[in-house]
Chains A and B, each alone.
Chain A
């Protein structure tokens, strides 16, 4: 039995951070009901990658909202709001990411909702926290990567600030929201009381930089300096990085420089013998290594380094990776099916429970697809 079976989550949250949290709880066994505006539904339905849509909603929406139900309600309509309050009274968790003040205006802020259901766990996602000068600024993934210092860690020294080309801030914020909600559910089992859980994109994006921020806070506030070429981490000494070979690239992680030089078949210049230089003269060392590694193919180097258990690997694109037997062995993808009969291939939950992978065929719902059954099941029409 999946661990969250029996838990009902009402998801008012839109876009990526909140819905990715809902997806994880759904995969772990919770029942997740999206509460959506009638007609257009949540705003994330219209946000597309490469302009790709599955039905009237985008592929991205379908990726983050599979395995959920949808209940359409106009929160500004008193009758709909009354139904939602009855639903909240029977739920375990609700999540939203409205800007500060919006839920207060509607009358679904935590203090009000706690009187309807004192056992409810109320999860809020914001951009920058609930108060302060940025509280009402738009909280969007790239913006948070940019103002949190995160973009100064990737790319080479002369490159412009380099963002991660995926929704890193959203994903981690969603992950932290799930952690807080689950911890509160555990506490509720002991105390019988609900809780308000708040996370923000800014705090979560600072949290993932906790190691490098701890260095910055204790080294006299020196800012990160990226390597000139092949940078993979501003704070880690040579050889850590990506190098071009005769035919491809090779990644070299934590590997002692002296052993690496020996395996390559060159003697380490005197000036790089002292380990302190491996960081202080990192660019010189990486240039020295790059000149050697370009001489042979990736396969050649791997055939020497792997038997020595060096921390190295090839560098793949999606085509190479997803066709590799190392990927295939995971059974990481699954087909989901929409109510229109459209099949979409996507990935599954990365967590295995009791030795089992978690699969689920259900795709994302249409707006209001489950209104009738939810009205009946939760007795919402008996006003």
Chain B
């Protein structure tokens, strides 16, 4: 299949996860992505290990984030090398970086300079906290942004203290927003023949992520966020919304009429809550009753009575259980990719399907500077 962004050239100076996750998506959609990396060290993510896991001398994270990209090694503080990079930028459609404020200027790749080189370029910049205000120079790390923005007050039970999401969800979301802004600007470039500057910060992305609960805070007069005492899955939703232990595992219950659920699972105490309002105002009581009752049978027994009645419920699975399901297997979500040295590893594919086809690629992550020579011949001279 032909991918929608074929012919688009992206020059990516970003490191770690936020910016590189944006260029990964552009690569998935067919763009050619050239990472510009510092000689010898490269993207610092190459050495940021997960559970001490080393794959082909580098971190598994780096391999996950940077498959299907090229690597061009250049020292931007060296004038000759910087001029070469400018030659590449002149031919590019998109430039991405995630330096802290001021660094792009020092390296000679600030917007004014780049716009002068290539007036129609889409210049995309990802920061931690934006470029104004008291936080602008703080390090933009996922856990810190989760902690500042109130996100850690939404998860877990009342009394648990702050509970962060155990995944770099803000990095990934800000990268996704950057990709959205880049794509919208590429569309405008085609029709209006103008470039663009696209700016996203992790802080603003984390706020939009919480747009429902923050809007709620504005609306309810600023009441404190109060999580359920047990089985919490949302501070602002009533029972049964939550995850419950069963005799052999756990079940997730989303929404549904409490007396009706009570009838289905033969839990008489739930008939005392006929008023939908009470499902929110008395959710701790109701959740307590549900939790006691759901412990008494296995997950499959509950699913057998709840699913046919169209109650929103699901078995809680770990990856091993999920991977054994037919419904997972047919998605072919796992792909094997190859590095140029024949090292192979497994990772996931792009989640977007176009005209019934999955977007896959067998190309793994680049070795540092692997494409410098070829790119010099093709684009620089």
**Chain A interface (Cβ within 8 Å of chain B)?**
1, 3-4, 6, 24, 28-29, 47, 49-52, 54, 59-60, 62-64, 128-129, 131-135, 137-138, 140-155, 159-168, 171-172, 175-180, 182-187, 189-190, 195-200, 202-204, 206-219, 221-224, 226, 231-237, 240, 242, 244, 249, 251-254, 276, 279-280, 309, 311-322, 324-330, 332-333, 344-347, 349-355
Flag whether B198 is at the interface (Cβ < 8 A).
yes
A163 to B242, CA, bound (A): 8
Given the known interface contacts A49-B213, A146-B243, A218-B55, the answer about A208 and B163 at a Cβ–Cβ threshold of 8 Å is no
10 shortest interchain CB distances as A-B pairs: A329-B133, A165-B154, A153-B166, A146-B252, A182-B183, A187-B4, A214-B64, A49-B236, A143-B314, A350-B204
- B1-45 contacts to A, CB under 8 A, are 2, 4-5, 7-8, 17, 25, 29-30
What residues of A have a CB within 8 angstroms of the CB of B190 in the complex?
186, 189-190
A330 to B127, CA, bound (A): 13
Interface contact A212-B134, CB-CB below 8 Å? no
Flag whether B83 is at the interface (Cβ < 8 A).
no
Taking a contact as CB atoms closer than 8 A, the residue among B7, B200, B207, B236 that contacts A332 in the complex is B207
Interface contact A196-B356, CB-CB below 8 Å? yes
Closest to B65 in A: A211
What residues of A have a CB within 8 angstroms of the CB of B243 in the complex?
142, 146, 151, 160-163
Closest to B143 in A: A253
Interface contact A161-B346, CB-CB below 8 Å? no
Closest to B277 in A: A51
A51 to B279, CA, bound (A): 10
A231 to B167, CA, bound (A): 11
Given the known interface contacts A176-B176, A219-B53, A316-B149, the answer about A162 and B196 at a Cβ–Cβ threshold of 8 Å is no
What residues of A have a CB within 8 angstroms of the CB of B138 in the complex?
313
A332 to B133, CA, bound (A): 13
Flag whether B225 is at the interface (Cβ < 8 A).
yes
Interface 1/0 per residue, B176-191 and A, CB below 8 Å: 1111110111111011
Interface contact A143-B312, CB-CB below 8 Å? yes
Given the known interface contacts A152-B318, A214-B345, A214-B346, the answer about A235 and B51 at a Cβ–Cβ threshold of 8 Å is yes
Given the known interface contacts A50-B220, A316-B149, the answer about A142 and B252 at a Cβ–Cβ threshold of 8 Å is yes
Interface contact A195-B310, CB-CB below 8 Å? no
Interface contact A346-B183, CB-CB below 8 Å? no
Closest to A275 in B: B52
Flag whether B71 is at the interface (Cβ < 8 A).
no
Interface contact A165-B51, CB-CB below 8 Å? no
A208 to B142, CA, bound (A): 14
Given the known interface contacts A171-B173, A244-B161, A319-B224, the answer about A132 and B327 at a Cβ–Cβ threshold of 8 Å is yes
A212 to B347, CA, bound (A): 10
A65 to B313, CA, bound (A): 26
Query: What are 18 contact pairs spanning A and B, CB under 8 A?
Result: A132-B326, A143-B313, A146-B315, A154-B164, A155-B155, A166-B210, A178-B180, A183-B352, A214-B63, A254-B141, A279-B51, A311-B144, A326-B135, A330-B201, A346-B211, A346-B215, A350-B174, A355-B199
A206 to B317, CA, bound (A): 13
A220–chain B nearest beta-carbon distance, Å = 10
What residues of B have a CB within 8 angstroms of the CB of A163 in the complex?
155, 232-234, 242-243, 252
Interface 1/0 per residue, B207-227 and A, CB below 8 Å: 111111111111110101101
What residues of A have a CB within 8 angstroms of the CB of B180 in the complex?
24, 28, 175, 178-179, 182, 351
Interface contact A166-B209, CB-CB below 8 Å? yes
B268–chain A nearest beta-carbon distance, Å = 25
Interface contact B165-A168, CB-CB below 8 Å? yes
Closest to A240 in B: B143
A311 to B189, CA, bound (A): 38
Given the known interface contacts A165-B227, A318-B217, the answer about A3 and B188 at a Cβ–Cβ threshold of 8 Å is yes
A184 to B224, CA, bound (A): 43
What residues of B have a CB within 8 angstroms of the CB of A184 in the complex?
4, 354
Given the known interface contacts A4-B184, A176-B352, A233-B143, the answer about A354 and B196 at a Cβ–Cβ threshold of 8 Å is yes
What residues of B have a CB within 8 angstroms of the CB of A327 in the complex?
207
Closest to A139 in B: B312
Interface 1/0 per residue, B138-177 and A, CB below 8 Å: 1101111011111111111000111111111100111011
A137 to B254, CA, bound (A): 13
Taking a contact as CB atoms closer than 8 A, the residue among B139, B141, B200, B238 that contacts A351 in the complex is B200
Given the known interface contacts A59-B216, A140-B254, A355-B199, the answer about A280 and B52 at a Cβ–Cβ threshold of 8 Å is yes
Given the known interface contacts A4-B187, A161-B243, A176-B351, the answer about A316 and B166 at a Cβ–Cβ threshold of 8 Å is no
Q: Given A168-B169, A320-B150, output 11 extra A-B contacts at Cβ < 8 Å.
A: A51-B238, A129-B353, A143-B254, A152-B318, A154-B167, A175-B180, A195-B354, A212-B50, A279-B52, A333-B214, A351-B198
Flag whether B192 is at the interface (Cβ < 8 A).
yes
A199 to B29, CA, bound (A): 14
Taking a contact as CB atoms closer than 8 A, the residue among B212, B255, B315 that contacts A63 in the complex is B212
Interface contact A236-B191, CB-CB below 8 Å? no
Interface contact A131-B217, CB-CB below 8 Å? no
A318 to B201, CA, bound (A): 19
Taking a contact as CB atoms closer than 8 A, the residue among B63, B143, B148, B215 that contacts A59 in the complex is B215
Task: Give the interface centre of A50, A171, A233, A320 by most chain B CB atoms within 10 Å.
Answer: A50
Interface contact B213-A166, CB-CB below 8 Å? yes
Taking a contact as CB atoms closer than 8 A, the residue among A223, A249, A325 that contacts B319 in the complex is A223
Task: Give the interface centre of B4, B179, B213, B326 by most chain A CB atoms within 10 Å.
Answer: B4
Given the known interface contacts A59-B219, A143-B254, A189-B191, the answer about A196 and B177 at a Cβ–Cβ threshold of 8 Å is no
What residues of A have a CB within 8 angstroms of the CB of B186 in the complex?
182, 186
A185 to B186, CA, bound (A): 10
Closest to A347 in B: B211
Given the known interface contacts A129-B331, A314-B148, the answer about A172 and B173 at a Cβ–Cβ threshold of 8 Å is yes
What residues of A have a CB within 8 angstroms of the CB of B242 in the complex?
142, 163
A179 to B4, CA, bound (A): 11
What residues of A have a CB within 8 angstroms of the CB of B260 in the complex?
none
A297–chain B nearest beta-carbon distance, Å = 16
Interface contact A226-B333, CB-CB below 8 Å? no
B274–chain A nearest beta-carbon distance, Å = 16
Flag whether B377 is at the interface (Cβ < 8 A).
no
A204–chain B nearest beta-carbon distance, Å = 5
Interface contact A350-B346, CB-CB below 8 Å? no
Interface contact B163-A153, CB-CB below 8 Å? no
Interface contact B139-A179, CB-CB below 8 Å? no
Interface contact A199-B351, CB-CB below 8 Å? yes
Interface contact B351-A215, CB-CB below 8 Å? no
Flag whether B375 is at the interface (Cβ < 8 A).
no
Interface contact A149-B322, CB-CB below 8 Å? yes
A209–chain B nearest beta-carbon distance, Å = 7
What residues of A have a CB within 8 angstroms of the CB of B325 in the complex?
133-134
Given the known interface contacts A154-B155, A165-B235, A211-B17, the answer about A186 and B169 at a Cβ–Cβ threshold of 8 Å is no
